[in-house]
Amino acid sequence: MSNLNQPQSETKVRPVGGTENSWCRAVPGGTGITVLGILLSKPPNISNLQNALHKLQISHPILRAKLHFNTSTTTFSYIIPPNPHIQIQPFDFQSTAEILRTVSETDPSRSLSSLHLILEHEMTRNDWSMTVPESDSGTDVFFASSYALDDGAIVMVMRLHTSACDRAAAVALLRELLSLMVGEKREKVELDSDGEIGLGIEEYIPNGKANKPIWSRGVNMLGYSLNSFRLANMDFEDIDSPRISRIVRLKLDQDHTSRILEGCKSRGIELCGVLSAAALIAARSFKALPNGQWEKYMVVTLIDCRSILQPVLSNNHLGFYHSAILNSHDLSGGEGLWELAKRTYNSFANSKKNEKHFSDMADVNFLMCKAIENPGLTPSSSLRTSIVSVFEEPVFDNFDDEKQEGIALKDYMGCASVHGVGPSIAIFDTIRNGCLDCTCVYPSPLHSREQMEKLVGEMKKILVESLEI
């Protein structure tokens, strides 16, 4: 076991795995920029914060990695320097005010929080937008910035390449940082015995789980491809303009959240089924189609595989260890929320039971890369692969008041960009102190903020009204 206070003595290099490679291909186009933002009512000690980030880079080698592209082999690899090197980029009040003005000018009638607008801004900061990095040493996968607000508050943002940080890793990273900021004794962090960067998810799949006959793989690939041409989408508002990711937030109070979770438990389903069902019903309702007219929608469900890999990985093992399951669903109008939620969840659960999160992993990665290379294979060249993406399990966070006061924490959000290849709406759900809080990300101006606020508002209405039946 390496000493966390002692960085490694030499630079390490590891080729990216198959799933990591698909994200390396996706991020230059705008999908897979992970952002974590925390709003503090008073400035932290920047020196202490810088030290905390260095500790994270020492304990998690992937955070000090640089992503390198080899032009001769057209392959990516991680270069891991021996020492932590992240530096916080500060933005003073004037710089922050100009950024907020620029981000909000397209929606002058809407009052969005500074944290909200800064996260939208950070999702446009794509240091990986060039296929070939400017430096032969590669491009960092981890950046940090601080934004000074006019009331003395500070927004701290961590921005990461998704190949190195999936949602579970982002949650673990945020919790570790907050614990360091309040001066708690840090929990033991599990590392590889030699302290090296972990391997790609494919190297940890249990033996035989990813096996699939060639003919079966071909049939599945054909099925996915043909099915995509029959999928319904939300109306696209602007298919030509350059895209960025925007956010709409969906919140429910403690009572509504508790009753929805109880409804899930009594029906043997998870929250992801309810959220995907609400999104499908809301999306179809905007089309004013007659009942009985069928449409097919795609739902992508993301699974954190750490607990089912071999060996089992801890929750704070950073990297990308999620897998995706794709399920299509036919809607004819008139579906009730709980009926559709049970159908969507059972479809996902059956696919997972049949190990499709492992056996279809290579196929899904291949299709993702093909869509990136050939946008014309998607409707209106929109790069939309599904109507919605959800996570199998929500994040449960009970950050108590005492902790919050210790670091002056007022709010925090986390999500990833989707304006390249991806869904029309990606839902990052958290149960925060008993209340549902969803950060819903969408590609703009392919979809407008007005359109997506209306969709999310309808989803909330559907969720609340389902509790009155």
Verify that 236 and 115 share a domain, yes or no: no
Whether 4 maps to a domain, the answer reads no
Verify that 368 and 423 share a domain, yes or no: yes
Beta bridge pairs of residue 41 = none
| Structural contact between residues 434 and 254, judged by C-beta atoms closer than 8 angstroms | yes
Measure Cα distances from 149 to 46, 90, 114 in Å: 16, 12, 8
Whether 77 maps to a domain, the answer reads yes
Verify that 251 and 317 share a domain, yes or no: yes
pLDDT tens, 182-224? 775 444 434 333 445 789 999 999 998 887 656 555 556 555 5
Whether 157 maps to a domain, the answer reads yes
Whether 5 maps to a domain, the answer reads no
Whether 79 maps to a domain, the answer reads yes
Residue 198: per-residue pLDDT: 87
pLDDT tens, 429-469? 999 999 999 999 999 999 999 999 999 999 999 999 998 76
HSE-CB for 53 with a 13 A CA cutoff: 21
Mention every residue, 6+ apart, whose C-beta is less than 8 A from residue 115.
37, 39, 155, 411, 412, 413
Verify that 177 and 291 share a domain, yes or no: no
Mention every residue, 6+ apart, whose C-beta is less than 8 A from residue 439.
247, 249, 413, 414, 415, 427, 428, 430
Q: What is the residue-averaged pLDDT of the chain?
A: 88
Give the residue from 414, 467, 31 showing the smallest Cα distance to 278.
467
Mention every residue, 6+ apart, whose C-beta is less than 8 A from residue 460.
250, 252
Verify that 281 and 375 share a domain, yes or no: yes
Residue 229: per-residue pLDDT: 65
Residue 416: per-residue pLDDT: 98
Give the residue from 201, 404, 390, 395 showing the smallest Cα distance to 303.
390
Relative to beta strand 88-91, strand 75-80 is: unpaired
* Structural domains of the chain, count: 2
CATH code of residue 148? 3.30.559.10
More confident residue, 226 or 164: 164
Q: Could you list the residue range(s) of the whole structural domain that residue 364 is in?
A: 202-466
| Structural contact between residues 9 and 82, judged by C-beta atoms closer than 8 angstroms | yes
Verify that 22 and 164 share a domain, yes or no: yes
Mention every residue, 6+ apart, whose C-beta is less than 8 A from residue 171.
395, 397, 414
| Structural contact between residues 136 and 70, judged by C-beta atoms closer than 8 angstroms | no
Give the residue from 311, 84, 305, 80 showing the smallest Cα distance to 196.
80
Verify that 231 and 340 share a domain, yes or no: yes
pTM (predicted TM-score): 0.93
Verify that 144 and 231 share a domain, yes or no: no
Verify that 255 and 392 share a domain, yes or no: yes
pLDDT tens, 42-83? 888 888 899 999 999 999 999 999 999 988 888 999 999 999
CB atoms within 10 A of CB 10: 7
The residue among 174, 200, 226 that closes a domain is 200
The residue among 158, 177, 200 that closes a domain is 200
Verify that 134 and 220 share a domain, yes or no: no
| Structural contact between residues 425 and 417, judged by C-beta atoms closer than 8 angstroms | no
Whether 36 maps to a domain, the answer reads yes
CATH code of residue 393? 3.30.559.30
pLDDT tens, 296-330? 999 999 999 999 999 999 988 999 999 999 999 99
Six token digits for residue 346: 């059972």
Which three-class secondary structure state does DSSP give residue 248? Answer: strand
For the cut 50, the answer to whether the pLDDT of residue 289 exceeds it is yes
Verify that 273 and 284 share a domain, yes or no: yes
Verify that 210 and 133 share a domain, yes or no: no
| Structural contact between residues 463 and 337, judged by C-beta atoms closer than 8 angstroms | yes
The residue among 147, 167, 200 that closes a domain is 200
Whether 88 maps to a domain, the answer reads yes
The size of the chain, in residues, is: 469
For residues 7-29, give the mean pLDDT: 89
Helix axes 254-267, 449-466, angle to 10 degrees: 70
Six token digits for residue 286: 């905007």
Whether 7 maps to a domain, the answer reads no
Residue type, 190: E
| Dist CA 295 CA 349 (whole Å) | 22
